[in-house]
Each structure stands twice: as C-alpha cells, then as structure tokens.
Amino acid sequence: MAEAYERDLQIANKRHDLVAIHVIDPLEERLPSVGLLELEDLETGEIVLVDTSVREIRETVSENALSEKTNLERFFKSIGMDYIDIYTDRPYVQPLTKFFRMRAKRFH
C-alpha cells in the first residue's frame, strides 16, 4: 500500500469507524500451472510473459501474496482498524456474519 494512503487511512480511522475489506481472488494466492500467461502490472501498465508451469514462479507468487496479506493485516491492526478477508470463490455471508458478531461482543 502506498505511504500516502497509509497516512490518510490513519487520519480517517481516528475520526470515523472504518473497516477494511480485502477482496481476494484465489488466483492471486495460488497461480495455476497453465503454461504461458501474459500479465499486466496494473500500476505500471507493463506486460510480462510468465511461465506458470515453473514451480518456483508459482511458489514466489504465493509467497508474495502471503507477505502482502500479512503486511496489510499488520498495518490495519497497528492503526486499530478492523479487517476482513472476503474470497471471491466463497460465500461472503459467513465472514461478514462472523465479523459483526465478534464486533458486537467487543462493543457490548
């Protein structure tokens, strides 16, 4: 996450009740072995050709995704902001229900 966003979120979270919802596509965490894929970096627009049949590449993608997720969780926790993971291949009702039940217990 960019530093400017981190600072802005810290400020906003002090004045408002914010909840971070991280929407995760499982392909971001587990790249399938499907051969060559053309991928675009959404921040730079750069297009790269990735050979997903190479195990080390898939492992690197998984490690990077886990690291990013861990960093986000740490950041939100450090500013006292609640955080929810929602996976696109699973129903969203259960994690939201669990979150609001946990939150109700905390505030009552």
CA distances from 82 to 17, 18, 92, 98 (A): 9, 7, 16, 13
Helix (H, G, I), strand (E, B) or coil at 16: coil
* Separation of alpha carbons 63 and 75, rounded Å: 18
Side-chain half-sphere of 92: how many Cα atoms within 13 Å?
Answer: 10
pTM value is 0.77
Write out pLDDT tens, residues 7-46: 888 889 889 989 999 999 999 899 999 999 999 988 899 9
- Residue 39 three-state SS: strand
Distance CA 54, CA 25 (A): 21
